[in-house]
């Protein structure tokens, strides 16, 4: 057994695979070939394809296509052109295509000027050089510590200070050359220190060690760039995030002068892309938050103020608190916060007003949209309310179906993928870098307040088109079964927990549910829903009891709000009607019993075609539907109906 | 792992790295036979092979490879 295990595939995939982006489609190559043949503009199609978490090979192929389109003079709107010269002491041939494709992700049609290897000073300082002649918009100095004269001056503070000044002088001379020869903006990288130390921990404090010299160089470089109006790309910070031992791949440096491990090319290129986007003023300005299971753990409408998780000392609560803290810090920085939640407005506001652990307050939220509309409609309303473009928006939601809907209907909105575990929500949002900026001014701090003062509650009557088409694309399967012993525990839980989509809010114990299950006169229904994102599990429960001859009373009808807006209730009614007909039932009778939490379903029966037959002072309403001729809406889903024969046989 | 399946996977890798679906691999094929197979693309090729086969070559092994046949032998000895 060798002492050294071969080191394969141990990088953090959040960063190497850009996991906040959707996974690349299986048919990436086919999509690439089809570019320019669709109904959309070529630029838009490129933007869409670049928005997946592509690997180096995919980025390279996409870049080839972009370069071809540009050289053939094809218009690439809405991508805006940007010419970037890259000066490096390392091999960047593999990185250049990744830069082009990653910039497209940020709405930039990037042309890279790439002079031969290791010609940094010649290119910057010679007036007629290849780079200066090409009139770039910006010059990226992609140089690492190996390009610097970092001879040791151990323990000699004066010599070390002189060395740092010498290095800064060299970098300033490069900037001066570019400024006077072509006037381009300069992007300087901080220097990731090598892994190997001389003393160990002492390297940080002894003057003249590589680590201490680079600390000083990075700090002074940052100050210089801030004062000159140029741009800093903090590669040292990036390498720190990933781990220096991961970042520096000595084998690849030795073989081909790769400046860092090849696994990080997509990430590095994405960072350059977001930096250019920030230079062009394309950074995002608004963070739209979902509430249930994003800002807090649990569902406020069902779990109540005491049940949701935000407390310190609770692992899940801490994870959601971290999301709140990040949102609040972003707001302090000038990012506008908004809320889009499927909830009753009043209920959604309660934690903000009453929960002692909530960091976010209503005052921090510029636009608060809690209603039962689809989220694309709400986000459009938020954009209108703030008078900002959809391309300024970031939408954070734990629910993959909501994310998919918004991504499909409003592709301009950035929607990060999120991992299963909320512990990583905040980190994933930060890694995506939506709010990257290249400058900071005191006015930025006031911006969030400015938008907030102008924002009023938006009215949300307009529905975004295309929801039906999206639903069809979800590939849903709905499964109907009568109550059974296997699922009884979950049925009891739903009956006792559901508050919002619950017509009568009748609570039953386990023995009572068992009784209904075994009673041949009682019709029971448990409903499951699966879609292309996974299995939602049991999402609806219905109990019908015999009333007079030929009529069923709908004793219980409840549904999980997670599947709202998918016409599940219509499909459930169709199933009930089918069994009613088979049992010789000619009339269904329903009742809506208002509670503090179920205003959502006040119109449930009218939407399903029932006729109101009574309304009481308490708000309680009674409804009827004749089975004959009833034809509720249908929704695009596969229907599976199992287990009813068994119960039918016990009746016989 | 048998040679046929190594050749099949290698063919996919070559098509991807050199962006040419017409490449047919034989043991004798070397850098001079494939358009764009220079020293840098060689590194990219090796990195992709390492990733797909989940193996790791040493610097000297990478330098010594003369043709596809030697690459297959090397993969076979590891995978």
Write down the pLDDT at residue A464: 47
Judge whether A108 and A276 are in contact, CB under 8 Å: yes
Closest CA to A58 of A260, A266, A342, A200: A266
Residue A240 has pLDDT above 80, yes or no: yes
Asked whether residue A261 falls in the same domain as residue A364, the answer is no
Query: Phi first, then psi: what are they for A332, rounded to 5°?
Result: -60, -30
Write down the pLDDT at residue A456: 44
Task: Compute the distance between CA of residue A597 and CA of residue A266 in angstroms, rounded to an integer.
Answer: 47
Domain-embedded: residue A59: yes
Check residue A414 and report its DSSP letter.
Answer: B
Average pLDDT over residues A66-82: 92
Residues of chain B positioned with their CB less than 8 A from the CB of A258:
43
Nearest CA in chain B to A7: B56
Domain-embedded: residue A402: yes
Write down the pLDDT at residue A461: 35
Highest mean pLDDT among A400-414, A449-463, B22-36: A400-414
Residue B8 in contact with partner chain A when CB distance is under 8 A: no
Average pLDDT over residues A492-517: 90
Domain-embedded: residue A156: yes
Task: Provide the number of CB pairs (under 8 Å) joining chain A to chain B.
Answer: 32
Q: How far is A256 from chain B (nearest CA, A)?
A: 7
B40·A94 Cβ contact <8 A: yes
Judge whether A531 and A543 are in contact, CB under 8 Å: no
Write down the pLDDT at residue B59: 85
At residue A614's C-alpha, the angle toward residues A611 and A616, to 5°, is 140
Residue A178's domain is classified under what CATH number?
3.40.50.1110
Asked whether residue A430 falls in the same domain as residue A485, the answer is no
Residue A648 has pLDDT above 50, yes or no: no
Average pLDDT over residues A304-308: 91
The distance from CA A588 to its chain's CA centroid, rounded to whole angstroms, is 43
Task: Provide the domain count of chain A.
Answer: 3
Q: Where are the alpha helices (DSSP H) in A363-421?
A: 375-386, 400-409
Q: How far is A427 from chain B (nearest CA, A)?
A: 27
Residue A2 has pLDDT above 80, yes or no: no
Asked whether residue A224 falls in the same domain as residue A326, the answer is no
Percent of chain B with pLDDT over 70: 100
Q: How far is A106 from chain B (nearest CA, A)?
A: 25
Domain-embedded: residue A2: no
Domain membership of residue A91 as a residue range:
13-279
Average pLDDT over residues A22-37: 93
If contacts are CB pairs under 8 Å, which of residues 27-66 in chain B contact chain A? Answer: 39-40, 43-44, 47-48, 50-51, 54-56, 59, 62
Asked whether residue A25 falls in the same domain as residue A119, the answer is yes
What beta strand segments (E) does A125-266 contain?
A: 138-142, 185-189, 231-233
Q: Coil, strand or helix: which one is A288?
A: strand
Alpha-carbon Rg for chain B, nearest whole angstrom, is 11
Percent of chain A with pLDDT over 90: 73
Question: What is chain A's mean pLDDT, rounded?
Answer: 90
Asked whether residue A129 falls in the same domain as residue A27, the answer is yes
Asked whether residue A602 falls in the same domain as residue A646, the answer is yes
Q: How far is A421 from chain B (nearest CA, A)?
A: 27
Average pLDDT over residues A431-446: 82
Closest CA to A564 of A607, A525, A515: A607
A251·B59 Cβ contact <8 A: yes
The residue from A444, A469, A494 where one domain ends is A469
B54·A8 Cβ contact <8 A: yes
Q: H or E stretch including A330?
A: helix A315-333
Residue A570's domain is classified under what CATH number?
3.40.630.30
Asked whether residue A89 falls in the same domain as residue A235, the answer is yes
Select from B16, B19, B40 the Cβ nearest to the Cβ of A93: B40
**HSE-up of residue A509 (Cα within 13 Å, Cβ side):** 2
Judge whether A366 and A336 are in contact, CB under 8 Å: yes
Domains and CATH numbers, chain B: 3-78 (1.10.1200.10)
């Amino acid at each position: 057994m060798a002492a050294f295990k071969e080191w394969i595939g141990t990088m953090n995939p959040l960063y190497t695979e850009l996991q906040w982006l959707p996974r690349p489609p299986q048919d990436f190559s086919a999509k690439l070939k089809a570019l320019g043949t669709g109904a959309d503009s070529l630029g838009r199609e490129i933007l869409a394809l670049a928005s997946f978490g592509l690997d180096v090979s995919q980025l390279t192929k996409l870049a080839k296509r972009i370069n071809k389109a540009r050289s053939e003079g094809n218009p690439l709107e809405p991508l805006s052109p940007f010419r970037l010269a890259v000066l490096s002491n390392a091999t960047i041939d593999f990185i250049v295509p990744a830069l082009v494709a990653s910039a497209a992700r940020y709405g930039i049609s990037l042309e890279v000027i790439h002079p031969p290897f290791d010609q940094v000073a010649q290119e910057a300082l010679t007036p007629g050089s290849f780079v200066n002649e090409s009139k770039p918009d910006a010059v990226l100095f992609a140089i690492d510590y190996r390009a610097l004269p970092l001879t040791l001056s151990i323990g000699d503070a004066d010599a070390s200070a002189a060395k740092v000044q010498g290095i800064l002088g060299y970098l300033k001379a490069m900037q001066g050359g570019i400024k006077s020869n072509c006037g381009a903006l300069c992007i300087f990288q901080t220097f990731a220190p090598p892994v190997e130390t001389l003393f160990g921990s002492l390297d940080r404090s002894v003057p003249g060690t590589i680590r201490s010299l680079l600390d000083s160089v990075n700090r002074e470089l940052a100050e210089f760039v801030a004062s000159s109006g140029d741009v800093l790309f903090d590669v040292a910070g990036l390498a720190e995030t990933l781990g220096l031992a991961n970042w520096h791949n000595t084998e690849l440096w030795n073989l081909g002068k790769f400046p860092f491990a090849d696994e990080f090319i997509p990430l590095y290129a994405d960072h350059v892309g977001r930096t250019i986007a920030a230079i062009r003023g394309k950074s995002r300005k608004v963070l739209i938050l979902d509430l249930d299971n994003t800002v807090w753990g649990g569902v406020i409408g069902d779990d109540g103020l005491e049940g949701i998780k935000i407390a310190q000392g609770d692992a899940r609560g801490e994870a959601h608190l971290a999301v709140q803290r990040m949102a609040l810090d972003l707001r302090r920085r000038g990012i506008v916060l908004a809320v889009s939640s499927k909830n009753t407005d009043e209920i959604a506001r309660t934690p903000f007003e009453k929960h002692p652990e909530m960091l976010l307050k209503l005052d921090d939220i510029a636009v608060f949209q809690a209603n039962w509309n689809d989220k694309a409609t709400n986000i459009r309303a938020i954009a209108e309310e703030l008078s900002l473009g959809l391309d300024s928006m970031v939408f954070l939601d734990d629910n993959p179906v909501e994310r998919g809907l918004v991504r499909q209907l409003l592709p301009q909105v950035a929607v990060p993928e999120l991992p299963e575990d909320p512990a990583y929500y905040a980190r994933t949002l930060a890694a995506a870098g939506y709010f990257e900026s290249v400058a900071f001014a005191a006015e930025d701090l006031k911006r969030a307040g400015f938008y907030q003062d102008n924002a009023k509650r938006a009215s949300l009557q307009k529905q975004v088109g295309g929801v039906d088409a999206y639903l069809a694309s979800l590939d849903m399967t709905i499964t109907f079964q009568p109550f059974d012993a296997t699922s009884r525990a979950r049925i009891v839980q739903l009956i006792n927990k559901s508050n919002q989509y619950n017509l009568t809010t009748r609570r039953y114990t386990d023995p009572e549910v068992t009784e209904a299950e075994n009673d041949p006169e009682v019709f029971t229904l448990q409903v499951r829903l699966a879609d292309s994102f996974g299995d939602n599990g049991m999402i609806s429960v219905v109990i019908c009891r015999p009333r007079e001859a030929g009529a069923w009373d709908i004793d219980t009808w409840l549904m999980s709000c997670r599947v709202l807006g998918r016409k599940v209730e219509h499909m459930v009614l169709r199933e009930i009607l089918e069994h009613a007909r088979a049992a010789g039932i000619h009339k269904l009778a329903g009742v809506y019993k208002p509670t503090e939490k179920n205003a959502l379903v006040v119109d449930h029966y009218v939407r399903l075609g029932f006729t109101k037959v009574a309304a009481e002072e308490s708000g309680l309403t009674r409804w009827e539907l004749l089975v004959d001729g009833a034809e509720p809406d249908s929704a695009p889903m596969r229907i599976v109906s199992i287990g009813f024969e068994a119960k039918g046989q016990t009746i016989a | 792992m048998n040679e046929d399946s190594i050749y099949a996977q290698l063919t996919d890798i070559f098509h991807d790295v050199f962006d040419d679906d017409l490449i047919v691999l034989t043991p004798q094929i070397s850098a001079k036979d494939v358009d764009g197979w220079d020293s840098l693309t060689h590194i990219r090729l090796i990195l992709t092979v390492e990733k797909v086969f989940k193996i790791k070559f040493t610097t000297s092994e990478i330098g010594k490879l003369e043709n596809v046949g030697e690459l297959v032998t090397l993969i076979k000895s590891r995978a």
